[in-house]
Amino acid sequence: MTAAVAALPLIRPITDLRTQFNDVCAQATESQEPIILTKNGVPAYVLEDCAAYEAAAQRNRMFLALREAEIEERYRPEALTAEESDARMAEIFKVWGLDYA
């Protein structure tokens, strides 16, 4: 039986920034994962390599763009030809009492 095992987060005390700064930075760069920094045993901050942060931000932007496209496709009425669009706009302008040219 196989189970999906999530990787354990990298956790370090915040004092490591003061005492082992280079080691913490090297770990962030090598792992490309966020490091959770704890203060008195409680998660307080997250440290992440800049390249890993940018990659995650890019993935998030792409996900949001795809989600927006899915929503638009689901709720958007069918596409209109230019002639159909012009005819509808002319009807709307006529109701408003304006001239559509």
Q: How many domains does the chain have?
A: 1
Q: Is the pLDDT of residue 72 over 60?
A: yes
The single residue listed with the structure tokens 């962030």 is 28
Q: Is the pLDDT of residue 6 over 80?
A: no
SS3 call for 6: coil
Residue 47 maps to a domain = yes
Lowest-confidence segment of 29-33, 61-65, 94-98 by average pLDDT: 94-98
Instruction: Read off the pLDDT of residues 36-60 as tens digits, 9 standing for 90 and up.
Output: 999 999 999 999 999 999 999 999 9
pTM higher than the cut 0.95 = no
SS3 call for 100: coil
Residue 82 maps to a domain = no
Residue 70 maps to a domain = yes
d(CA 16, CA 31): 17
By residue range, what is the domain housing residue 15?
Answer: 10-76
Residue 5 maps to a domain = no
Residue 33 maps to a domain = yes
Residue 94 maps to a domain = no
Residue 48 maps to a domain = yes
